[in-house]
Amino acid sequence: FTHDGRGGSGFIGQSLSQLLKNRGHQVTIISRQPGQQKITWADVSKNGLPICDAVVNLAGENVLNPLKRWTEQFKQEVTASRIETTRTITQAIRHSSSPPHTWVVVTGVGYYPPSQTQQYTEDSLGGNSDFLSRLVRDWESAAELPGTKGKTATRLVKVRTGVVLGRNGGALPTMLWPFWFCLGGVLGSGKQPFPWIHIEDLCRLLCHTIEQEGKVSGILNAVSPSAVTDTNASFTGALSKAMGRPALLFTPAFAVQMLFGSDRAPMLLEGQRVIPQRTLQSGFSFLYPNLDSALNQLLR
Ligand code: NDP
């Protein structure tokens, strides 16, 4: 398998590479930096993909990096690091004489419009409510294989993931330290939906997608089954319980807005109720179907 990453070196990429190797697959990483078992984006643009069964794109500048100001330049980096890498792979697949059987682009549930009441399956409409949703729309559309639709041997799977909870990266580690000092609490009203998935379940789902050839295609929502009812407040409660620390304080919405700005604050102060309908229908079963099971395992 060739697993891409401007991402192979990242939080999800490292975990997925390890799982694929454990399952006996061979992994090549696409990165900005050359290295062992790595090729660069320039190599792919120039020479195409090496012979492989599947490609997964996990590249992307961290949108919620609080150290980066939300300038036009940073927005462009956020966009280009996803869309240009996706396009590079799409082009390479189109021009390959022996294309991979599977092409997986990992995007986000930010595709669906934020709402406290609406529930979304993979069939729901979205892609036009804010910066993030339009980014996901363009990112997924860059993954399409135009001109070869219906003729190509390659099957495209779009995996829309929620917040990925893991020990070694993503949002969770930065959320933990306030709790250690008994300073943890909800963000804003706490009523915003909290779509999430355990890193191990996401990587298992990506393997399932690659290995279940012919059974899985189109869009898959990568969120835990309980995520449709989980909120920022229920996550805060479960985290507080798992850590044995009180969650007495709260961060007011204006503080989040001051830190992240008006384009990014909604990513924390709003959310989507997402159902993994097609994911479950594809025969996938979750190891961590609710917050207690996920957080107890991660904080053990
Ligand atoms: P990471 O930030 O851990 O890693 C992403 C990788 O992208 C890096 O290892 C790096 O690879 C590459 N990268 C980073 N910045 C840039 C840049 N400016 N230009 C080009 N490449 C860059 O991300 P995650 O593993 O957490 O996420 C992977 C993908 O999944 C991302 O696209 C993200 O948007 C998406 N996602 C993640 C969620 C999460 O909760 N983690 C939730 C929803 C979606 P290298 O240095 O090798 O080039």
Q: How far is the CA of 4 from the centre of ligand 1 (A)?
A: 11
- Give, using CA atoms, the residue closest to atom 10 of ligand 1: 6
With 50 as the cut, is the pLDDT of residue 7 above it?
no
The answer to whether residue 295 sits within a structural domain is no
pLDDT in tens, 95-134: 999 999 999 999 999 999 999 999 999 999 999 999 999 9
Residue 7 CA to ligand 1 center (angstroms) comes to 5
**How many angstroms separate the CA atoms of 262 and 230, rounded?**
24
Helix (H, G, I), strand (E, B) or coil at 295: helix
Rounded to an integer, what is the distance from CA 193 to the centroid of its chain?
17
Domain count for the chain = 1
Q: Is residue 190 part of a domain?
A: no
Residue 256 lies in a domain: no
Q: Collapsing DSSP states into helix, strand and coil, what is residue 8?
A: coil
pLDDT score of 13: 96
Q: Is residue 297 part of a domain?
A: no
Instruction: Supply the CATH number for residue 132's domain.
Output: 3.40.50.720
Check if the interface score ipTM surpasses 0.85: yes
Q: Quick one: what percent of the chain has pLDDT higher than 70?
A: 95
For ligand 1, the distance from its centroid to the CA atom of residue 107, given in whole angstroms, is 10
Residue 263 belongs to some domain of the structure: no
Ligand 1 mean position, distance from CA 86 (Å): 12
Structural domain for 220, as ranges: 11-169+195-227+273-288
- Output the residue whose Cα is nearest ligand 1's atom 6: 7
Q: Where would I find the H helices in 144-212?
A: 172-180, 199-211
Please tell me the predicted confidence (pLDDT) of residue 259: 85
Distance 243 CA to ligand 1 centre (A): 28
Which two tokens mark 208? 């399932």
- The whole-angstrom separation of Cα 119 and Cα 270 is 14
User: Ligand 1 pocket test: which of 4, 9, 29 has the largest number of ligand atoms within 8 Å of its C-beta?
Assistant: 9
Length of the chain, in residues: 300
**Which atom of ligand 1 is least distant from the CA of 80?**
19
Q: Mean of the pLDDT values across residues 201-206? A: 98
| C-alpha to C-alpha distance for 288 and 294, rounded to whole angstroms | 5
* Residue 184, in any domain of the structure: no
Task: Report the pocket of ligand 1 as residue ranges, CB < 6 Å.
Answer: 5-7, 9-13, 31-33, 58-62, 77, 81-82, 106, 108, 161, 163-164, 169-171
Taking the CA of residue 62 as reference, the ligand 1 atom at the shortest distance is 2
* Cα→Cα distances 282→120, 190, 212, 286, Å: 17, 32, 9, 12
| Residue 206 structure tokens | 């990506």
**Residue (of 13, 61, 60, 66) closest to 37 by Cα position:** 13
Which ligand 1 atom is the nearest neighbour of the CA of 165? 40
Q: Is residue 18 one of the residues assigned to a domain?
A: yes
**Mean pLDDT value of segment 171-200:** 93
Residue at 104 is within a domain: yes
* pLDDT tens sequence across 146-183: 755 445 689 999 999 999 999 999 999 988 988 888 88
Q: Judge whether 86 and 57 are in contact, CB under 8 Å.
A: yes
Distance from the alpha carbon of residue 273 to the mean position of ligand 1, in angstroms: 24
